[in-house]
Amino acid sequence: MDAKHEITICLGSSCFSRGNKEVLEVIKKFIDKHQLSVDVFFHGDLCNGHCAEGPVLKIDEQLFSNVQVDNVFDILSGYFEINEN
Ligand code: FES
């Protein structure tokens, strides 16, 4: 695998029904907007047992909980140190 980073979105039924379906679209837009598709391997995964903190998202080894459409852009910008302004 050549990608430098890995983003894993939980597609388990709990996270998916609590918003990861929409979060997934935002992440795709973020990757496109910042042309990160070469550096980032973005994929879905099954439930990892953190449902109570969901929806969850993992970037490399870091787990983010309660990820929503309105905070995922900030999470990604912070992690990848991208200033949106
Ligand atoms: S469904 Fe996402 S952690 Fe369980």
User: How many angstroms separate the CA atoms of 45 and 62, rounded?
Assistant: 15
Q: Is this prediction's pTM over 0.85? A: yes
Closest by CA to 57, choosing from 23, 33, 22, 14, is 23
pLDDT band at 20 (very low <50, low <70, confident <90, very high): very high
Strands (E), the chain: 5-10, 40-45, 57-59, 62-64
The pLDDT value recorded for residue 62 is 97
- CA 2–ligand 1 middle distance (angstroms): 27
The pLDDT value recorded for residue 83 is 82
Q: Are strands 57-59 and 62-64 parallel, antiparallel or unpaired?
A: antiparallel
The pLDDT value recorded for residue 18 is 95
pLDDT digits (tens, 9 = 90+) for 23-77: 999 999 999 999 999 999 999 999 999 999 999 999 999 999 999 999 999 999 9
Ligand 1 pocket check for 14: Cβ under 6 Å: yes
